[in-house]
Structure 1
């Protein structure tokens, strides 16, 4: 990520408090044939954090209030670069079918963030079990700012809940296309070519 974009992201309210949650920007994002911003649901902690007892507590806290053992769980850049999560391995597999790899990774051609800016409290939990009006509001505000900065050609949501609660509520930016693709972990739909929002839809969009 260039310093210029780091500075712009630093001006987003939520990233002032939690800078390690800033989006992952692939090295080749701005040179890619199509600029793609992929938006998932949320990060998650392995177990509940004391500052994530509720939305007000979370959004009025900052990184200095969070125990260092939790940092890796919300470090977007590190999580995508490690590709340890099966979601990113599956995305890498699909992206590589439609675009050339850059430095051996198709993911280096895209940008990635989560729509919800508050993590779920345990592994495998959906933020929809916790989400409030404040989560929706801050998610919409943050995503809007990121889109304005990155100016993608496509914004692709890979979480139906995030699409419904954030994606559909966004003030759409001109010349940006917004799409919903089913979550890669939803095997029943992701691999089903008859399903309109499967991985095959993503492959077609990227051609």
Structure 2
């Protein structure tokens, strides 16, 4: 069993919880109210900025040129491509770029991005690999689950197609191989990698909950 498989086996209960979450189920069915989806769009936009930082900082800790080049390239792709996709999605719902950039992070978004950035600064490259893995693999798996649940095209079909497309699958494959390389190269880091992986996975679940409940600060 590869180390990435072992991590996914340990986090299976978190994946199952994501599959059953009403945000995921209702989005797949096309019945999700627009307000939770808009909340997800705004919060995920803010999340992606720190996700790009995670890859950029991981690139500075990589010990070989190929890995460094790829990690820094992903950071650029997130900022140059994926952010554009979010802006395009948001525009379809009447959300302008200025609103995306000025929205306040919800508590769960703060917790998740703070965890990722702290891991990037304080952790090893192996811990960073494990921390970023649940977002990549999780969105592909949840996207595939949504595709299985969907019975017809609807307004959220482009969302499902984004995370089940070949481009995203290729990015996920590389991430998984990165985790396996780190697991093999740094056996002494396995416990730290598991902790980072499970923390990110649980925060992925909470992100769906944050969007569905339109979580705010209540102030």
TM-score by length of 1: 0.30
The structure showing larger relative contact order (alpha-carbon pairs under 8 Å, at least 6 residues apart) is 2
Point out the structure with the larger helix share. Answer: 2
TM-score norm. by structure 2 comes to: 0.29
Q: Which has the higher strand share?
A: 1
